[in-house]
Amino acid sequence: MTTMLSGRTPAYPGDDGAAFGGVSAMFAMVQRSNHATAFAGWIVATGAMGLVVQARTLESASRAPYSGLLFAALVPVLAAGTLVVILLVRAARLTRAAQEEFYRFIAEIPGDAPELCAPAVLQLQRLTAATRHRETLTQRALIWAYVSGTALLAWSAIAVAMASGH
């Protein structure tokens, strides 16, 4: 028993099952990258809110003897957070463009065309490649979010210590 993707006839027997397997793998990649996107975004948003909450601490720390070093150390932390946002935006744009191209292609296929004609397989491969690239970008963003969050936590501890005079 084969899985039917639509009412169209497959170009070759069994190809519809292979296409279904490819689409299933693509959905798994999307799910993993969605989790990475959500967690990386949460880390960066929490860090940004933490800096807003620490406004008074930063004001007190600015009067400490080494406040220049403290604020200079904040630059790479903010750069890492910015890199996370850039990676996530790139990943979203890449996938959105590939999806739009795929949907345009599907809309233009005549109803009597074989389901897995060569151009359709090529479009599906392009969409899968874009999804794989998205997963790579979101995993990289998650790693940088961990780095950014950890660095911000350490920086915050130092800022609090400097503000309290320790």
Quote the radius of gyration of the chain (alpha carbons, Å): 24
The 10s digit of each residue's pLDDT in 77-111 is: 999 999 999 999 999 898 888 888 877 877 777 76
What pLDDT was estimated at residue 138? 93
Output the CA–CA distances (angstroms, integers) from residue 70 to 60, 64, 73, 158, in the order listed: 12, 9, 5, 8
Residue 4 confidence (pLDDT): 45
Which residue would you say has higher pLDDT here, 5 or 21? Answer: 21
Average the pLDDT over each of 27-36, 44-53, 152-161 and give the range with the smallest value.
27-36
Task: Report the predicted TM-score, pTM, of the whole model to 2 decimal places.
Answer: 0.72
Mean pLDDT score across all residues of the chain? 80
pLDDT at 114 over 70: no
